[in-house]
């Protein structure tokens, strides 16, 4: 009964994961069989930490990914709570329609998102600079400037993903017993106080889950970079998924690419453990 799922997951996920770790200690061309791999110890890792150009590019990609991930999470979480409350409230109509519109963007293939936004961002023919102009703001270079390119990709990512996280928040909101709001009101709490006293603490588990998923999704950013910016301008949008594929597949430096993948995996484990520890500390405070 378990054989199909477990063997498929074993062969196509677990085995490659173990191979990634093993290959990170080998010199190996991706164009050749695994048998041609040659053990080199920590050479790949020291290369990544060295002043070689691959090391400098890797570190840039690592920090770009960290910035991209951090900014995505910091924007998405509060926004999803605000939007979730907007959908969940029943004071005024429209919540349901809003939920449909928000979640629709999550269905759009990232490649189409990247294409459409590259046109929206176009400094001359794009509508975003025109709209900024109406409000008296300066025109931006968006994807064409090293200062704004990565943040511009965060923006399109937030646009695509926030609907999913909003639905997670709505799911969390439905779990909060109405009696708690009732009690808060009787105690004389105003809506702001009951938001911080009841809603937010009881959404903690939802938000932890959201944060973990948002981090995992964010490190996968690939299409806008591969298609629109190619890591530029000036390496400012070079991110790990793009760079690992470039080194490990396109340049066929499988050992080096695998070492980068292991570093990414370790960084993710650290971040996720830290998120859980942070949430647990909140539990103890209660």
Partner 1 sequence: MSSVRKGRLFRASKAKPLDALLVAGIVLVAVVSAFPLIWMVLSSFKTPAESMQVPPVWIPGSVNFQAYGEVADVINAGRSFWNSAVIATTTTLGILITSLMAGYAFAKYRFKGRDLLFAAVIATMFLPPIVTLIPLYRLVGSIGLNASLAGVIVPNLANAFGVFLMRQFIAGVPDDLIDAARVDGASELRIVFTVVAPAVVPAIAALALFAFVYHWNTYLWPLTVLQGQVDNYPIVLSLSRLLSYNRGAMNTGLVMAGATMAVLPPLVMFLLLQRFFVDSIVSSGVKG
| Near partner 1 in 40-99, by CB under 8 A | 83, 86, 89-92, 94-95, 97-99
> For residues 258 and 24, is the Cβ–Cβ distance under 8 A?
yes
Q: Enumerate residues 191-210 that contact partner 1 by CB under 8 A.
A: 191, 205-206, 209
Tokens 């647990």, residue? Answer: 280
Q: How far is the CB of 198 from partner 1 (least distance, A)?
A: 12
Q: Does 36 bind partner 1 (CB under 8 A)?
A: no
Using CA of residue 121, residue 126, residue 129, residue 132, what is the dihedral sign? Answer: negative
Q: Which of 2, 157, 175 is nearest to 75 (CA)?
A: 157
- Give the binding-site size for partner 1 (rule: CB under 8 A): 98
| Nearest distance in Å: CB 60, partner 1 | 17
CA 225 to chain centre: 14
| Residue 100 near residue 122 (C-beta atoms within 8 A) | no
Near partner 1 by CB under 8 A: residue from 105, 140, 144, 235: 105
- How many whole angstroms from its chain centre is CA 37? 33
CA-based torsion, 32, 33, 39, 42: positive or negative = positive
* Nearest distance in Å: CB 220, partner 1: 5
Q: Which residues of 205-227 are buried (b: 16+ CB within 10 A; e: fewer)?
A: ebbbbbbbbbbebbbebbbbbbe
Q: Alpha-carbon distance 210 to 275, whole Å? A: 11
Minimum Å gap between C-beta 116 and partner 1 is 5
Q: Which stretch binds partner 1 (CB under 8 A): 14-22, 46-54, 69-77, 143-151?
A: 14-22
User: How far is it, in rounded angstroms, from Cα 159 to Cα 107?
Assistant: 12
Distances (CA, A) of 233 to 80, 142, 146, 156, 216: 31, 11, 5, 17, 25
User: Minimal distance in Å, beta carbon 285 to partner 1?
Assistant: 22
Q: Cβ 57 to partner 1, closest distance in Å?
A: 16
Taking residues 130 to 169 in sequence order and writing x for each that binds partner 1 by CB under 8 A, - otherwise, the string is x--x-------------------------x---xx--xx-
Decide whether 16 or 78 has the Cβ nearer to partner 1. Answer: 16
The stretch near partner 1 (CB under 8 A) out of 46-54, 56-64, 115-123, 146-154 is 115-123
**b/e per residue, 111-125, with b = 16+ CB within 10 A?**
eebbeebbebbeeee
**Residue 18 Cβ vs partner 1, minimum distance, rounded to whole Å:** 9
- Site pattern 237..266 for partner 1 (x: CB under 8 A): ---xx--xx--xx----x--xx--xx-xx-
Pick between residue 47 and residue 51 the one whose CB is nearest to partner 1.
Answer: 47
**Shortest CB 229 distance to partner 1, Å:** 12
Nearer to partner 1, 92 or 284 (CB): 92
Spatial distance between the Cα atoms of 259 and 42, rounded to a whole number of angstroms: 9
Nearer to partner 1 by Cβ, of 46 and 104: the residue is: 104
Task: Out of 38, 124, 281, 284, name the contact with partner 1 by CB under 8 A.
Answer: 124
């Amino acid at each position: 009964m378990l054989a199909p799922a477990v063997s498929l997951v074993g062969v196509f996920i677990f085995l490659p994961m173990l191979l990634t770790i093993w290959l990170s200690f080998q010199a190996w061309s991706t164009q050749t069989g695994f048998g041609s791999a040659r053990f080199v110890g920590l050479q790949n890792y020291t290369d990544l930490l060295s002043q070689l150009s691959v090391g400098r590019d890797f570190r840039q990609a690592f920090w770009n990914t960290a910035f991209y991930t951090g900014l995505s999470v910091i924007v998405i979480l509060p926004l999803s709570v605000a939007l979730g409350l907007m959908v969940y409230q029943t004071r005024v109509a429209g919540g349901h329609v809003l939920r449909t519109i928000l979640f629709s963007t999550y269905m759009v293939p990232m490649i189409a998102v990247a294409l459409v936004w590259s046109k929206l961002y176009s400094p001359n023919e794009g509508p975003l600079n025109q709209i900024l102009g109406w409000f008296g703001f300066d025109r931006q270079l968006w994807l064409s400037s090293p200062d704004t390119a990565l943040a511009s990709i965060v923006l399109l990512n937030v646009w695509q993903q926030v609907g999913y996280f909003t639905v997670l928040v709505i799911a969390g909101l439905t779990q909060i017993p109405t009696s708690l709001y009732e009690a808060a009101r009787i105690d004389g709490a105003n809506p702001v106080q009951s938001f911080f006293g009841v809603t937010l603490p009881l959404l903690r588990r939802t938000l932890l889950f959201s944060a973990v998923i948002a981090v995992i999704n964010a490190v996968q950013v690939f299409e806008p970079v591969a298609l629109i910016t190619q890591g530029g301008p000036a390496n400012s949008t070079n991110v790990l998924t793009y760079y690992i594929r470039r080194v490990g597949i396109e340049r066929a430096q499988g050992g080096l690419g695998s070492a980068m993948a292991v570093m990414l995996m370790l960084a993710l484990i650290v971040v996720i453990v830290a998120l859980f520890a942070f949430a647990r500390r909140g539990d103890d405070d209660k």
